[in-house]
Amino acid sequence: MSAVHVIGAGMTQFKPHPTVEVHELARQAAWAAIESSGVRPEDIELAYAGHAYQGQCFGQKVLLKIGMTGMPVVNCENACASGASAVWGVVNAIKAGQADIGIAIGAEKLASAKGGFTPLVADDLESSMGRVMPSVFSMMARKHMDRYGTTLDQLARIAVKNRRGGVRNPYSPWRDEITVEDVLAAPMIAEPLTRLSCCPVSDGAAAVILASDRVARRYTARPVEVRAAILASGIRNGVGMADDHSEMTIRAARRAYEVAGIGPEDVDLCELHDPFTIAELVHYEDLGFCAPGEGGRGVDEGWFDIGGRVAVSPSGGLLARGHPLGATGVAQIAEMFWQLRGEAGERQVPGARVGLAHTVGGGVTQIEAGATSVHILVG
């Protein structure tokens, strides 16, 4: 089976874009990815577009804006894993021989008057009674603190670390670093999670160009290989569940390591699904970067900083770059592309060779079905 490589990437800044429509954001990201790849638009044979709320035939409308019509386009949704599902779809389609070059686009507009994503389902009883994202994660935090002795200080340090990345990332809107004290003193959203423990509501888009082994090196001497593309579904574990970890993340990560032929100790760089500080901490453990319960200690000892065991979310992650749902999974792959080629500027992880991108989508509705993705890339 032919390998698939990333050969180009582009994205918009993630922030509220009140005067730019979502198709235009996606067009900008797609065009930036195309330009960076050296591919001619007419050589792109296939597209997936990931989004959660942007209406019918979204990908077609975006591509039409740059004159690219005709190719197969699939619009896909998997809540916060929508963009990652788009990447996964393009990888499969290239491996299946449908195309040599494809584009994965992800986009979302959440910060507009028409947007918003809580409650996820209008008639969801639990959401309407307050079981929305921040409250679910607040309970997850309490559980982890209770079980393992994780501290508020440790959780706050995750926000500080990711903001440090965001400040160095031109695609993030943040320009000021924060301290543990800032995080703890910020307005309370869902105790113990303050506003600085939660990702912001953003608009934005990202795109990557993927190519078969057969053609990738025609466009770049340094393609970044997608060594494993794993999607899984399941029940989001959390409050009321047997465990506070993400069973589907654990399963997807194990499978990804198996397919890639590496272990978590080989990962230099991870873009991790961190909508709340507690999510990042739990996922350190789920992805095998430390043992269950060790996340807090790892934060204290700098295991997840640049220069530590594995640099987690040097981009700023969802916390400090932003989280326009459909865009996030694609932006992670774009970040991998830049990092693994040494092109990540001030946020560069020195010598990064193996990267892992992780998203989790869904889970705060009556039926707690969700999706998770793990992609392993090698530069």
**Binding site residues, its own copies, CB under 8 A:** 1, 23, 52, 55-61, 63-64, 69-79, 85, 88-89, 91-98, 120-121, 230-235, 248, 251, 361-362, 365, 367, 369-371
**What does the DSSP assignment read for 255-274?**
HHHHHHT--GGG--EEE---
Among candidate residues 23, 245, 273, 323, the one labeled active-site is 323
What's the rounded Cα separation, in Å, for the pair 7 and 30? 13
Residue 323 among the catalytic residues? yes
**Among residues 121 and 185, whose Cβ is nearest to its own copies?**
121
CB of 22 to its own copies, least distance (A): 13
Within 10 A of 128 (CB to CB), how many other CB atoms are there? 12
Compute, in degrees rounded to 10, the torsion defined by CA atoms 19, 20, 21, 22: -130
**Among residues 121 and 291, whose Cβ is nearest to its own copies?**
121
Closest listed residue to residue 144, CA positions, set 310, 279, 17: 279
β pairing state of 269-271 and 203-212 = unpaired
Dihedral angle sign, alpha carbons of residues 365, 199, 205, 5:
negative
**Among residues 92 and 151, whose Cβ is nearest to its own copies?**
92
Closest listed residue to residue 307, CA positions, set 144, 154, 161: 161
What's the rounded Cα separation, in Å, for the pair 313 and 180? 18
Residue 270 among the catalytic residues? no
Among candidate residues 76, 80, 270, 290, the one labeled active-site is 80
**Among residues 77 and 203, whose Cβ is nearest to its own copies?**
77
**The pair of three-digit structure tokens given for residue 194, joined into one six-digit string:** 């303050």
CB of 75 to its own copies, least distance (A): 4
**Among residues 228 and 336, whose Cβ is nearest to its own copies?**
228
What's the rounded Cα separation, in Å, for the pair 295 and 89? 32
**Among residues 97 and 351, whose Cβ is nearest to its own copies?**
97
CB of 136 to its own copies, least distance (A): 15
DSSP reduced 3-state for 39? coil
Closest listed residue to residue 270, CA positions, set 339, 322, 205: 339
Q: What are phi and psi of 182, to 5 degrees?
A: -60, -45
Annotated catalytic sites, by residue? 80, 323
